[in-house]
Amino acid sequence: MKRIAIFASGSGTNMERIAGYFSNNSEVEICLVVCNKKGAGVIDRAAKFGIPVEMIDRQSFYQTDKLANKLRLLNTDLLVLAGFLWLIPASLLEAFPGKIINIHPALLPAYGGKGMFGMRVHEAVVAAGEQFSGITIHYVNEHYDEGAVIFQAKTELVHDETPESLAVKIHELEYRFFPEVIAELLR
């Protein structure tokens, strides 16, 4: 059995899609959702699937090995960042080398880095007059959005594209491809 921990800070729609994708797969289990924001929608979405949630605070996340130890005890095979906005600490990078992935709502290396998430990315892409945007699934390292690219998918921007309409297109790509790429990585 392969075990996944999903890290999320927001509404949890990607977590929900991943959980749904693997819900009938006896070979894959989402063993934990890690959340750093009280009241985040991901908490209720995890509960619907019976997935335990570990709430974390900044101090323990960055200054202790508690989470790394818990994830080891759970025999976690892959850490999946799905809208998680904190930089991953060295303790987790060392405990799970090459086993932490993230999804970014743009075609990296463009529009990545600290502070570039969600609508901020879409606003920047539209303001720059880009012809294409998309998603990047990549390995996580000690810098925001700089790990090796695993997969990219793109979508064309239309002449009257708005950040909101682009966000819809990007979510469609995320929901379609993120679970599939995770499944490939677990083989």
- Dihedral sign for Cα 113, 119, 121, 123, please: negative
1-97 and 103-177 in the same fold: yes
Task: Read off the pLDDT of each residue in 166-181 and give the average, rounded to a whole number.
Answer: 98
Tokens 């379609």 locate to: 176
Percent of the chain at pLDDT > 70 equals 100
- Asked whether 183 and 28 are in contact (CB, 8 A), the reply is yes
Give per-residue pLDDT as tens, 101-116. Answer: 999 999 999 999 999 9
Predicted confidence at residue 157, as pLDDT, reads 97
Question: Going by DSSP bridges, is the β-strand pair 28-35/53-55 parallel, antiparallel, or unpaired?
Answer: parallel
Predicted confidence at residue 58, as pLDDT, reads 96
- Asked whether 101 and 81 are in contact (CB, 8 A), the reply is yes
What is the token pair recorded at 59? 């101090």
Task: Read off the pLDDT of each residue in 80-108 and give the average, rounded to a whole number.
Answer: 97
What DSSP state is assigned to residue 89?
Answer: P
Give per-residue pLDDT as tens, 34-68. Answer: 999 999 999 999 999 999 999 999 999 999 999 99
Task: Reply yes or no on domain 103-177 having CATH 3.30.70.580.
Answer: no
CA distances from 180 to 97, 117, 137, 187 (A): 21, 22, 11, 11
- Asked whether 81 and 103 are in contact (CB, 8 A), the reply is yes
Global confidence as pTM = 0.96
Predicted confidence at residue 182, as pLDDT, reads 98
Q: First-to-last CA distance in the chain?
A: 11
- Asked whether 35 and 42 are in contact (CB, 8 A), the reply is yes
Return d(Cα 107, Cα 136) in angstroms, integer: 6
User: Which homologous superfamily does the CATH classification assign to the domain defined by 1-97?
Assistant: Formyl transferase, N-terminal domain (3.40.50.170)
Answer yes or no: 104 catalytic.
yes
Domain spans in the chain, listed from the N-terminal domain onward: 1-97, 103-177
Give per-residue pLDDT as tens, 114-170. Answer: 999 999 999 999 999 999 999 999 999 999 999 999 999 999 999 999 999 999 999
Helix/strand/coil for 67: helix
Look over the chain and give the mean of its residue pLDDT values, rounded to a whole number.
Answer: 97
